[in-house]
Structure 1
Amino acid sequence: MKEPLKSKLAGMLEVVYPYLDSGFLAEKLLKAMGLAPNQEPPPAHQNNWDESDIVLITYADTIRRADEKPLVTLHEFLNDCLADTVSAVHILPFFPYSSDDGFSVMDYLAVNESHGTWEDIERIAGDFKLMADLVINHMSARSRWFENFRKRLDPGKDYFFEASLTDDLGAVVRPRTSPLLNPVMTEDGERYVWCTFSEDQVDLNFANPDVLMEFVSIIRKYLERGVVMFRLDAVAFLWKEPGTPSIHLQQTHELIKILRLLIEHHTPRAVVITETNVPNRENLTYFGNANEAHAIYNFSLPPLLIHTLVTGNCRHLKTWLMSMPPAQLGTTYLNFIASHDGVGLRPTDGLLTEDEKQGLINAMESFGGKVSYRRTEDGRDQPYEINIALYDALKGTVKGGADHWQRQRFICAHTVMLALEGIPAFYIHSLLATENDYERAEHTGRLRSINRGQWKLESIESELANPLSHHSKVFTELKRLISIRRRQPAFHPNATQFTLHLGLQLFGFWRQSMRRDQSIFCIHNISDEVQKIALSDINLIGTDQWVDLISGLRVDDLSGSITLKPYQSVWLSNRE
């Protein structure tokens, strides 16, 4: 017999708030979400995605046109250029903000007037699955809630996490080098507020259930506006306790379960995605028992794939892939190799040696990249992420420096991502092959801005119309590869995957459709030298007809071999 929703929710709340009446709190949360206590659950282990799903990641104002709101311009670009390419659009925080390009939110229920309106958001949601950020760990120091915190007024008085300089904070895991505690003058005197990321981003206090109540109301509003995919930003840091690392605490995991439970009962097709830029083993815990995140960002993929392509050696990428557990039905990976942030280095802990990390950093710096740091428990500053546009990150190799294989290497990276288990997500600057934006980084004073440039729509149209432009060549080829991928059942995000052993210069894996009616052998030359592979090494079934989906080349002689040019990929399938 299925457990009633209220009872299940109350059991989760008891873990987080053992000192409160969990039944009463459950009732309040259900009312805030517009749910009945005995609401029917969605089907168990339901995949709200398939092989046709491709996510685009973009800021609301990445593409601009004079005298037009950027959300209007973005919608036009999406419909004109990507309607047959992407199924979902992640619009990075489009709310009023005070810093960090949107991640210091001032008002969760308003659209930044300079971007557009809620009606513009709803129109995009009408044509694409819409992903929005739930910036749940912290809020702007210039928000109304924080002003009320200073004045000791509601709502906001107890909404932010306070600590003392005498608290035991030595074990707290930090993603930045800025001070953890910052003094704030309030009506009750000076207080110290917890700031995981910056002085302008003050951490919220989820030990106060009123904060949870506020966010449940916010989530409901987003759902009503058409949001069906929720990115829980920096959620690993949600619950804080002095004397602990204050990351991945049990209450954090329980709060994710609570939010998922409420979201999927309201909208069964909705998806919760956790953004946890941490070592791989820690990241995997956010699946829970298929009851936390529907999808997790595959944070180890970007640095490992870049390392593979600039060294011409896939040993670490292959070892990592073999260690990755298949996602249970109803869960999946979100694969990406570029985003609005830098290339995280913590996800390589335990996967690359310190010397290999430093070699990668040196190569990226030689290609124009910068390095951001975090502070460790013992007070040392350690490299945290590499800030670089992906197109420039792949402009050469560790040993040879910049070369003429940049575009081919870049395409190879995305061909790998498209074929892997999970949902592929493309940063808009990757689709457009944007290079390092030094001017913007200098203007903002933030290293991450190097990969957060803005385009005039007229400039994009001009570049894409020019067949000699590298922007046009990349955009055209990536669209072609995406189109191929979206038609293959073996590329379903939950289709079977096995790693192939083809040496260090050939990275390969096998995918099989869930109905077992299609197999695809995905083989990628990740080196700058020609590679030959005997077809007998990949065990193609002789009774099937095999074709490379990328080139259209048919494979008739299974006793022969195929030759791959530098950074060439093949998708050998037994059906077209």
Structure 2
Amino acid sequence: MSDVASLLKDRLIHQLAFIYADVSLDDPLPTIAERLMASMGLADTEGDDCNITAPCPHTNLWSEQDVILITYGDSIYQQAAHGSDDSVPAPLQTLHGFLKRYCSHTINHVHILPFFPYSSDDGFSVIDYSTVNEALGTWDDIEAISEDFGLMVDLVINHCSARSAWFMQFVEQKSPGKDFFFTAELTDDISEVVRPRTSPLLRETTTATGVKEVWCTFSHDQVDFDFRNPEVLIAFANIIRLYLDKGTRIFRLDAIAFLWKIPGTSCINLPQTHEVVRLLRTLIEHADPNALIITETNIPNRENLTYFGNANEAHAIYNFSLPPLLVNTLLSGSSQYLKNWLMSMPPAQNGTFYFNFIASHDGIGLRPAEGLLSDTEINDLVNCILKFGGRVGWRTGDNGKQKPYELNIALIDALKGTLKGEDQWQIERFICAHAIMFGLEGVPGIYIHSLIGTTNDEERVVHTGQNRSINRHRWIDTALIKELDDVHSLHHQVLTQITQLLHIRKAQRAFHPNATQFTLQLRNELFGYWRQSIDRKQSIFCISNITDEPQTLHLSDINLIGTEQWTDLISQNQIDAEELEHTLQPYQTLWLTNQFDAD
């Protein structure tokens, strides 16, 4: 065994020793480490080295060129003509065609939400991790997309479907699944367990050896794994290897915060969970030094930040506080809370980045706004979203009380007005939200239904009975193309303006995910920050009017250097630094730079 392999094995043993310190194991830690390496293709059966690459720490494997599109495999599909027996392309093939036609010059990564056979939760209750849902396509379709776009894939690691083969084995008490799932006793103290749902935590399940209480963080169809059993960890190492072989570049660790459970605790963000993330990173980056981990932790901001570790856990974390704070800013017309939060955010170390988003397949989470927005602000936000046709998801909080967990609404409908009601500024407000997000430190992620301005799907909510379906519309490709080709349609206008912003963003070195950022001290009707490229050759002042009235920007507030030429990248208008003030129209954003040709 080479020095690199030996060091990797020693590191894995050290990590395993922490994870399983309080667990009685059948196999010694060196054996478990060797099996993990073999599962990942890091050693063959004789223990020889096999494609092991020592990672380079604190390396930025991303740039201002990176943009991630979030989509389901069947967000766009083709429909056979009425009365026709002709087959139609698989949805993944239709998606690939859409990406090449509309996104190839602005978006270079695509997050395809779980595309595996599933039983509920639109894919997040996985039946089989090793196959592609035949209703979507095949592994060939996934690999074809990965050849044109960086592929981001969900590792649904906390739980799987109650209809999976592993859980059927658990019921029958047969290997390997018989010890794969976390069970508790009815006498266990679960009073402190943090829940994202209101359903009972434990599911009574009759097995071949008696009744067991199975732990279900999310729903009774989503049964939680027991990572105290190293066989579960090894099984997921095999899954990760498969996904790498199929072209995966980015792994999204779904619901990772709930992974390790200890009754009598909160069962969230436990030290063992963090160490599992570090171990998974160790395995992944030694197998592919260009592969990345993003943790999906829909939790309060301070807790979320801990998943960076010391640049040795997640490469990126979802910036979960951004969506509720930015929506609140645009609905209230005050940037106070967004500004205070941004000032408190530490810059991401080299080797890490923030994954910025303002809409996704899920709702707008409210837990990440806890401690950042007051109860009054949250209540006003909830009531406004309800008036705009949205829904509210709930969770069980302290003392069994229900608290709002997330807002379910299409983002463009969430921004159809303000706290005062609907108005004529919907598109301008929506584009303003994206202009703010695209300029922030980090890599932007854009939901496909934001890219094309999809509105609330009330019919789908009625059909599924699920609030989240309101923002999970499925487009027939001919209908979508017709809308996108119509210059007067809302969808055309949204796609055109967002595409323009992305084109501009990708050409600016000051928008590198790790470029310097400072929050500007402007009055609450404006929101702004300053970015400077890593080589310090380009500066951009990003300033938005977040109200429905014209606002005056006093140029002295941002200290433009009068000897330099400043240009608004978005409008291409030049700004005279010697002027005393400049007027921003409702929801207008300026990207002021002293070097607009950053190439």
Superposition TM-score tier, normalisation by shorter sequence? over 0.9
Task: Identify the match of residue 8 of structure 2 among 5, 11, 16.
Answer: 5
The alpha carbon displacement at 1:543 in A equals 2.9
Spell out the pairing of 1:206-355 with structure 2 (5 A cutoff). Answer: 206-355=227-376
One-letter amino acid matched to 1:55? I
Letter in 1 for 2:42: L
Residue number in structure 2 paired with 1:58: 71
Alignment of 1:34-183 (within 5 A): 34-36=41-43, 39-66=52-79, 67-183=88-204
Distance 1:509 1:80 in 2: 33
8 Å contact 1:170–1:377 — kept in the other structure? no
Q: Distance in 2 between matches of 1:530 and 1:243?
A: 55
In 1, the alpha carbon distance for the partners of 2:562 and 2:290 equals: 41
Aligned 8 A contact 2:566 2:577 in 1: no
Partners of 2:548 and 2:576 in 1: how far apart? 27
**Root-mean-square deviation over aligned CA pairs:** 1.1
- Amino acid across the alignment from 1:177: T
Contact kept, 8 Å, 2:116 with 2:123, in 1: the verdict is: yes
CA drift of 1:479 comes to 0.2
Mapped partners of 2:387, 2:331: distance in 1: 12
Q: Is the 8 A contact 2:53 2:289 kept in 1?
A: no
1:509-529 superposed Cα distances (whole Å, 9 cap, x missing partner):
000000001000000000011
State the shift of 1:559 in Å: 3.4
Question: Gaps spanning 5+ residues in structure 2: where?
Answer: 80-87
Question: Which residue in the other structure is 2:83 paired with?
Answer: none
Amino acid at match of 1:480: Q
Q: 2: CA distance between counterparts of 1:536 and 1:238?
A: 51
Q: 1:29 — aligned with what? A: 36
Aligned to 1:412: 432
Percent identity over the alignment? 58
Length, aligned pairs only: 575
Corresponding residue for 1:564? 584
Whether 1:389 and 2:375 are equivalent positions in the alignment is no
2:561·2:577 contact (CA, 8 Å) conserved in 1?
Answer: no
- CA shift, 1:46, in A, is 1.1
Q: Following the alignment from structure 1 to structure 2, what is the Cα–Cα distance between the partners of residues 514 and 159?
A: 47
Question: For residues 114 and 378 of structure 2, what CA distance do their matches in structure 1 show?
Answer: 31
Residue 491 (structure 2) aligned to one of 467, 471, 480: 471
Q: What does residue range 366-515 of structure 1 map to in structure 2 within 5 Å? A: 366-398=387-419, 400-515=420-535
User: Partner of 2:85 in structure 1?
Assistant: none
- For the 8 Å contact 2:53–2:287, the answer to whether it is kept is no
Amino acid at match of 2:450: S
1:41 CA displacement: 1.5
CA distance in 2: counterparts of 1:427 and 1:201, whole angstroms:
25
Structure 1 residue matching 2:331: 3-state secondary structure: helix
How far off its partner does 1:78 sit? 0.4
Tell whether the 8 Å contact from 2:554 to 2:581 is kept in structure 1 after alignment. Answer: yes
Mapped to 1, the partners of 2:243 and 2:340 lie a distance apart of 40
CA contact (8 A) 1:536 1:558 kept: no
**Equivalents in 2 of 1:40, 1:435: separation in Å?**
46
Tell me by how many angstroms 1:450 deviates: 0.5
Q: Distance in 2 between matches of 1:244 and 1:279?
A: 17
Name the CA distance, whole Å, in 1 between partners of 2:554 and 2:257: 46
Please name the residue that 1:195 is paired with: 216
CA-CA distance at 1:557 after TM superposition: 4.0
Shift of 1:147: 0.3
CA distance in 2, matches of 1:543, 1:294: 40
State how far apart, in whole Å, the 2-side matches of 1:285 and 1:558 are. 44
Q: TM-score, normalised by structure 1?
A: 0.99
Q: Is the 8 A contact 2:125 2:221 kept in 1?
A: yes
TM norm structure 2: 0.95
Letter in 1 for 2:29: S
Deviations 1:107-142 (A, max 9, x none): 000000000000000000000000000000000000
Report deviation, 1:332. Answer: 0.3
Asked if structure 2 preserves the Cα contact closer than 8 Å seen for 1:105 and 1:139, the reply is yes
* Worse overlay, 521-530 or 534-543: 534-543
Structure-2 separation of matches of 1:288 and 1:557: 42
Change (3 A) 1:223 1:40: closer
Question: Contact 1:372 / 1:385 at 8 angstroms: preserved in 2?
Answer: yes
